[in-house]
Structure 1
């Protein structure tokens, strides 16, 4: 049965190549229309601006592949910046950041699997509770970030932003988990049909909980990057990343009902959102309209792909 699951891996990429084509069209159109888009400085800024979304969206891919999603990731990012900004010891700050994120992931995973709470309700509730905790930790932006973290975000190596290394490492981890491990095979099988996966010997609850824990850890890493970028803690800085990460995954061709998609499509989707925002800045469109555009793209991506069940 597991071998039959493995044989279907090629059918589980979803519409990632369509999103890649859309990304290419957007790059060519903006590059041809605006010379300022093609400047090395703008491209470097684009990469740095898109990195937090790229990292958190790669994590978001994991629970979505099980048929769920995590709307608490934005608050985890905010919490990470606040912990880093208010904890004196850098080592302790990073340890607390990782431990807090893992705890959030465990709570979400147990709520979804053991108590059968719908993922939207579970993660939205967790995020709301966590937001209150974040405001208790740091009610307003401020604090300071350990200098090496800021340096690891803003520096360049031979003209290439260090942010590229953050994205490359996150993408490699996500790809290895999904395509080079038994966990990835189990993740796809759970999304394709939890009952059939259980019959095939897959630990459905264990796999789902692990997906939420890993998702929260990716969000914590994105929060660390964001803290280094803004050089302070901010209790609201991650507010938009919950839905934006879902939009990036959906635009990348990953099916929200689970079982279809992967990290490459998510990268395409996140970059597409980043380029849209960058293009709006270039043409000086009101930045508040970005949420309107992102919401429209999410609706488009969901409506474009019909929900279907993938049997074994």
Structure 2
């Protein structure tokens, strides 16, 4: 039993990565905040914490999909901002909501094609897309404003049986992601492709009949669509379009994924680990807000966490 507990905490002998330790950290942070502050353990603050964490959880799950194949998507923050800008164009919801997902899928398709067809490194490809999408976003919405469809606002701000809607958003997104990663052949292919890339055998999955190029393109499309879902959620929360609302989501999503035990070299990681990593980030942010820590200091701390968790990962080859 002790050996099994050690394997869970260390992430050894499993493709799920080191997720037990972040869970322990989350529990310790929650305990510390409960003891040190009177506001943390209130129902109002906990529900607010879920609402604050939900965009990061959703976007981080999308980031997980591309990290599992040894990739990285730095355009997620721009896609989130772009989604809020499009939703605030004062057009019918029946037009805007499908449009944001079609456009997000197109952005993911461009990322995937640049990486698989033109052999552009994922960081360079998605960094380029990040600036292109950000530029378009600021043309559409130079400053925050506009009118978000009422159905989007109601879907985020309401409640059912006393449970806020953000909780249901989390349940639906996590169940869908679980089905994608663990209940479909596609999820198995993601782990196979990433495992081959991490071990230096990029063609390993292809040799077993897996269409790596197609699956990689789909991974970036899925990632962008998850970012669009996070953007829809944020648009409902802030009730406007904002060209800056997605800033730093690139750092936050990668940190959440890495903190949840996913190897950035690919092939090893888990959905529950990513959710735990995002919750740790949200708990830290909530605690620092309650302690009146400067937002600039919070950003520096996030960067330090990312550096620490990536530095602790063992990699068989240079790369992400």
TM bucket normalised to smaller: over 0.9
Aligned CA RMSD, in angstroms, stands at 1.1
* 1: CA distance, partners of 2:277 / 2:225: 20
Aligned residue in 2 for 1:47: 50
8 Å CA contact 2:93, 2:151 repeated in 1: no
CA offsets 1:266-297 (integer angstroms, 9 cap, x no match): 00000000010000111111122111111111
Q: Is the 8 A contact 2:111 2:125 kept in 1?
A: yes
Deviation at 1:87, TM superposition (A): 4.0
Aligned counterparts of 2:204 and 2:212: Cα–Cα separation in 1: 10
The counterpart of 1:214, out of the listed 222, 246, 260, is: 222
CA distance in 1, matches of 2:59, 2:156: 16
TM-score by length of 2: 0.92
Choose which of 149, 173, 178 in structure 2 pairs with 1:175: 178
**Does 2:156 correspond to 1:148?**
no
Unmatched tracts of structure 1, length 5 or more: 1-9
Distance 2:68 2:164 in 1: 30
Give runs of aligned pairs for residues 269-308 of structure 1, distance below 5 A.
269-308=277-316
Query: How far apart, in 1, do the equivalents of 2:295 and 2:41 lie?
Result: 21
Q: TM-score scaled to structure 1, two decimals?
A: 0.94
4+ residue runs of structure 1 moved beyond 4 angstroms?
A: none
**Alpha-carbon distance in structure 2 between the residues aligned to 1:201 and 1:49:** 42
Q: Which runs of 5+ in 2 are unaligned?
A: 1-12, 197-201
Q: How does 1:1-312 map to 2 (within 5 A)?
A: 11-193=14-196, 194-308=202-316
Q: Secondary structure at the match of 2:203?
A: helix
How many Å apart are 1:118 and its aligned residue?
A: 0.6
Corresponding pairs, count? 300
Offset from partner CA, 1:220-251 (integer Å, 9 cap, x none): 00000000000000011101111110100000
